[in-house]
């Protein structure tokens, strides 16, 4: 065993199993077949002469020694990523490859503006888009699985850099037959007692902003229905079951044919969420991410253009 050294791929497989709790899901995450992943983890255990993963019909989880080796594996993989980043920092074209995390309520609606511009400006750049939850993006940045992320700021930015891209307006969606849809002005006090649809707890920042608004005006979030995505919430609003917030880039992308929901703002009470680019403080690719952020800012739509295009009152 003294001459044996685990391969980076074996360590990736081990970390993936600990993350998913399932060999099949881990194999999908690593883009290999389950037998390939299982054989490599078994080989790793045989050569190290320890059991790293407990297996059962209900899933797979690390043994005590497995937990320790998995933590060490994450550090090793992060170190390998840093080596690649250092080499890439000397290259043109933003290092030729960026693994970009995006949130599901912003990324899909902003990327159609960003990606064509990047393709024109940096034709040899490979952008690997990884859409995931707030918590997974934070973990991915810390562990080196992501280079940077386009999302709202995390609560813990101790080892990370956050640079704001936009304070994105959130529009209130009101059923067309609700009395508020015909009001010339909407004031904060009018929303006391109203109920708003919210997204699931995976959308931490969105829910936090919605809860802050409800607390401020005396409204509440529906407990009997929690949406898994913005489309689901839009459908609930369209049939008159309540109100909700919709981010501006989602509005631009998805509300063109929506005639059952009126989009409004509250007078004197702007509601926005911060979206920016996040990367590790110690990354040698700081300049790449700053240039990427500059490219993002160059793709922002003008707010007046958004309102005019969609006839929003």
Q: For residues 310 and 187, give the distance between their C-alpha atoms in angstroms, rounded to a whole number.
A: 22
User: What are the tens digits of pLDDT across the range 227-278?
Assistant: 889 999 999 999 998 999 999 999 999 988 788 999 998 988 989 999 999 9
- Nearest-5° angle of CA 144, CA 274, CA 215? 120
What was the pLDDT predicted at 196? Answer: 95
pLDDT tens-digit profile, the chain (313 residues): 557 889 999 999 999 999 999 999 999 989 889 999 999 999 999 999 999 999 988 889 999 999 999 999 988 888 887 777 666 655 566 878 899 999 999 999 999 999 999 999 988 889 999 998 888 899 899 888 899 999 999 988 999 999 999 999 999 999 999 999 888 899 999 999 999 999 987 788 888 899 999 999 999 999 888 888 999 999 999 999 899 999 999 999 998 878 899 999 898 898 999 999 999 998 888 889 999 999 999 999 865 555 554 444 4
What was the pLDDT predicted at 205? Answer: 84
Helices H, strands E: what count in the chain?
11, 11
User: Could you tell me the two tokens for 12?
Assistant: 């990736």
In sequence order, the 6+-apart residues with CB closer than 8 A to the CB of 58 are none
User: Could you tell me the two tokens for 202?
Assistant: 């995976």
What was the pLDDT predicted at 311? Answer: 45
Q: For residues 299 and 112, give the distance between their C-alpha atoms in angstroms, rounded to a whole number.
A: 10
Please provide residue 299's backbone torsions phi and psi, each rounded to the nearest 5 degrees. -100, 0
What was the pLDDT predicted at 313? Answer: 42
- Looking at the whole model, is its pTM more than 0.75? no
Closest by alpha carbon to 272, among 179, 187, 208?
A: 208
User: What are the tens digits of pLDDT across the range 151-175?
Assistant: 999 988 999 999 999 999 999 999 9
């Amino acid at each position: 065993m003294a001459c044996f050294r685990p391969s980076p791929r074996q360590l990736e497989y081990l970390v993936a199993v600990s993350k998913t709790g399932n060999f099949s899901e881990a194999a999908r995450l690593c883009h290999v077949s389950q037998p390939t992943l299982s054989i490599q983890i078994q080989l790793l255990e045989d050569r190290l002469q320890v059991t790293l993963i407990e297996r059962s019909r209900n899933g797979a989880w690390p043994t005590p020694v497995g937990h320790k080796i998995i933590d060490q594996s994450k550090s090793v993989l992060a170190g390998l990523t840093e080596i690649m980043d250092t080499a890439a920092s000397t290259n043109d074209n933003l290092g030729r490859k960026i693994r970009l995390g995006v949130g599901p309520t912003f990324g899909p609606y902003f990327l159609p503006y960003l990606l064509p511009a990047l393709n024109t400006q940096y034709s040899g750049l490979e952008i690997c888009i990884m859409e995931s939850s707030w918590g997974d993006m934070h973990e991915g940045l810390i562990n080196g699985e992501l280079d940077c992320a386009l999302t709202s700021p995390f609560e813990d930015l101790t080892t990370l850099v956050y640079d704001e891209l936009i304070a994105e307006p959130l529009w209130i969606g009101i059923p067309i037959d609700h009395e508020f849809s015909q009001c010339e002005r909407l004031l904060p006090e009018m929303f006391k007692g109203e109920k708003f649809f919210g997204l699931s707890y995976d959308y931490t920042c969105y829910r936090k902003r919605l809860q802050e608004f409800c607390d401020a005006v005396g409204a509440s979030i529906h407990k009997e229905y929690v949406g898994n995505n913005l489309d689901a919430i839009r459908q609930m609003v369209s049939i008159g079951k309540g109100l909700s917030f919709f981010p501006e880039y989602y509005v631009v992308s998805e509300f063109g044919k929506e005639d059952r929901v009126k989009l409004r703002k509250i007078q004197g009470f702007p509601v926005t969420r911060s979206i920016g680019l996040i990367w590790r403080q110690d990354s040698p690719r700081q300049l790449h991410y700053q240039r990427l952020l500059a490219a993002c800012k160059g793709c922002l739509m003008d707010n007046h253009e958004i309102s005019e295009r969609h006839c929003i009152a």
